[in-house]
Amino acid sequence: MPIPFHTAPHADEELRGALAGLLDGLPPRQAAGAVERLITHYRGKVPTGAPVLRDRADVVAYAAYRMPATFEAVRAALGALADRAPGFDPADHLDVGGGTGAAVWAAAGIWGDGGERTRATTVLDWAEPALALGRELAGTSRSAALRAVEWRRARIAPGGELPAAELITVSYVLNELTEDARHGLVDAAAASGRAVVIVEPGTPAGYERIIEARGRLIDAGLRVMAPCPHGDTCPIEPGSDWCHFAARVGRSSLHRRVKGGSLAYEDEKFSYVAAVRPEVAGTAAGARIVRRPQIRKGQVLLDLCAGPDARRGGLRRETVTKRHGPAYRAARDADWGEEWDGGRDDGRDGERDAGRDEA
């Protein structure tokens, strides 16, 4: 099971509805052809010198085929930030390389409209067709914040600055940038955001970009809130593994047409980092579950990344057995990507410690 998401005030259902209506008017073969082109492109050479999303067919294909997954991944990352900084409710949001607006729908899913003062949101992207479709989709929403989003054409380039915003999101974009532009964007986000959330595909290369960005955010004075329980060096040995999570995504009819098979869902793998400026109240989790828990007869194996305050920090495996009562029940319900507090209230810490293994 994926990370437990905050249940959005209708954002996910609304987005699904808006996307379902999209394919009307686009012949199925044209939609499938545009999806194939996108897939081929993303397997090939990125970054490019010009937008990949060139016309309506491209952006409809992107929105129908990829946006549900990027929405769920960003929603999970923003949800993890909201869990660790419960008082944080961004008054404004800047989504850089926002395309058709997955991250602004995700923010609406986590924080609603932003309370009494409707959140002011700006999406920056160089692909005009993506911005136009994003505007069209958000225009169908009941959320005042979504309807009021400003969709602005802008190119991300090395040395560029960003306007200040309480929340800056950069989702599935770093891969499309040159190294200079990537560094420049992360540094600009660190300089201008009170909270910065960066999401990439959950691949070894995506994780490497996240780790690099995480280092730059820390160097700029931000504090990591999620997923890491600490701001130290990532304990994963470079090249040996990669930190990633999964978000469950319902498959659309277009998905099934392009990918075949009849599965009703798939898991979007993603890597992310959420960091905040020192004045934002909150703390990182004590430990996070970094693999799908393994449920065996009478025991659950949890692979954890733990912070320096834990008895043993870094990566470790915790075995929780039936004897541990409430902790065992909590472990059986625990999901990949969730925080883990050891099922603390059962008063049997000693026994549980005895069951700990090295990862």
- Coil, helix or strand at residue 270: strand
Q: Which two tokens mark 179?
A: 């190294």
Which of 97/343 has CB closer to ligand SAM? 97
Lay out the site mask for ligand SAM across 60-99 (x = CB under 6 A, - = otherwise). -------x--x--------------------------xxx
SS3 content of the chain, % helix, strand, coil (to 5): 40, 20, 40
Among the listed ranges 125-133, 255-263, 312-320, 340-348, the one in contact with ligand SAM (CB under 6 A) is 125-133
Count of beta carbons in the 10 Å neighbourhood of residue 149 = 27
Is residue 322 a contact residue for ligand SAM (CB under 6 A)? Answer: no
Among the listed ranges 126-134, 210-218, 240-248, 269-277, the one in contact with ligand SAM (CB under 6 A) is 126-134
Read off the amino acid at residue 68. Answer: P
Which of 72/92 has CB closer to ligand SAM? 72
Judged by CB under 6 A, how many residues of this single chain contact ligand SAM?
Answer: 20
Is residue 252 a contact residue for ligand SAM (CB under 6 A)? Answer: no
Which helix (H) or strand (E) segment holds residue 30: the answer is helix 28-43
Is residue 51 a contact residue for ligand SAM (CB under 6 A)? Answer: yes
Cα–Cα dist 197/82, whole Å: 11
Give the number of C-alpha atoms closer than 13 A to the C-alpha of residue 280, restricted to the C-beta side: 26
Selection from 95, 70, 96 nearest residue 269 by Cα: 70
Q: Which two tokens mark 124?
A: 């920056």
Q: Which two tokens mark 131?
A: 């911005």
- Coil, helix or strand at residue 297: coil
Which residues pair with residue 121 across a beta bridge? Answer: 93
Which of 87/159 has CB closer to ligand SAM? 159
The answer to whether the beta carbons of residues 201 and 175 sit under 8 Å apart is yes
Q: Which is it for strands 193-201 and 120-125: parallel, antiparallel or unpaired?
A: unpaired
Is residue 125 a contact residue for ligand SAM (CB under 6 A)? Answer: yes
Interhelix angle 102-111/67-84, rounded to 10 degrees, is: 40
Interhelix angle 11-22/67-84, rounded to 10 degrees, is: 170
Which of 52/306 has CB closer to ligand SAM? 52
DSSP code per residue over 145-163: HHHT-EEEE----TT----
Which of 78/289 has CB closer to ligand SAM? 78
Of these, 15, 77, 80, 127, which contacts ligand SAM (CB under 6 A)? Answer: 127
Is residue 267 a contact residue for ligand SAM (CB under 6 A)? Answer: no
Read off the amino acid at residue 221. Answer: G
Among the listed ranges 120-128, 215-223, 264-272, 335-343, the one in contact with ligand SAM (CB under 6 A) is 120-128
Which of 53/331 has CB closer to ligand SAM? 53
Within 149-178, the residues that bind ligand SAM by CB under 6 A are: 155-156, 171-173, 176-177
Cα–Cα dist 227/306, whole Å: 10
Q: Least distance to ligand SAM from the beta carbon of 304, Å? A: 28
Which of 32/39 has CB closer to ligand SAM? 39
Which of 198/285 has CB closer to ligand SAM? 198
Among the listed ranges 2-10, 119-127, 228-236, 296-304, the one in contact with ligand SAM (CB under 6 A) is 119-127
Which of 103/290 has CB closer to ligand SAM? 103
- Binding residues for ligand SAM, rule: CB under 6 A, are 51, 53, 67, 70, 97-99, 102-103, 125-127, 130, 155-156, 171-173, 176-177
